[in-house]
Amino acid sequence: MFVVNHQSISLMVHAIGMQKFMLDLVDRVLQSYVHWDEYDHQPRQACYYPQGVIELMPSSDHQWHGVKWINCHPENVKLGLPTIVGLGVWSSVSDGMPQMICDMTLLTAFRTAAATGVFLKYAQKRLLQNIMMIGLGAQSDFHALMLSVLFPNVKLFVYDIDLKAIEKFMKNTATMAIQVHVIDSVEMFVNQVDAVITLTAAKKKTAILESKWIKKPLVIAAVGGDSPGKTEIDPALIERSHVVVQFLEQTEKEGEIQNAKALKIHHLYQAVKSPIEELECPLIFDSVGFAIEDHAVMRYIWQMVQNYPQLVMKFFPDLHQQPKDLWQSIGWGGCE
Angle at 42 between CA 23 and CA 306, to 5 degrees: 40
Residue 154 DSSP label? -
Backbone angles phi, psi at 282, to 5 degrees: -60, 150
Taking each continuous run of H as one helix and of E as one strand, the counts in the chain are: 10, 17
Report how far residue 196's alpha carbon sits from residue 216's, in angstroms, rounded to the nearest whole number. Answer: 12
Half-sphere exposure of 195 (CA within 13 A, CB side): 28
Report how far residue 27's alpha carbon sits from residue 66's, in angstroms, rounded to the nearest whole number. Answer: 18
Q: Which residues of 200-228 are buried (b: 16+ CB within 10 A; e: fewer)?
A: bbebeebebbebebbeeebbbbbbbbbbe
Report how far residue 335's alpha carbon sits from residue 332's, in angstroms, rounded to the nearest whole number. Answer: 8
**Which neighbouring-strand residues pair with 89?**
67, 101
Measured CA distances, 3 to 107, 183, 309 (Å) = 15, 43, 10
Are the beta carbons of 238 and 256 closer than 8 angstroms? yes
Determine the 3-state secondary structure of 209 from DSSP.
strand
Report how far residue 33's alpha carbon sits from residue 229's, in angstroms, rounded to the nearest whole number. Answer: 27
Show which residues are catalytic: 226
Report how far residue 183's alpha carbon sits from residue 188's, in angstroms, rounded to the nearest whole number. Answer: 9
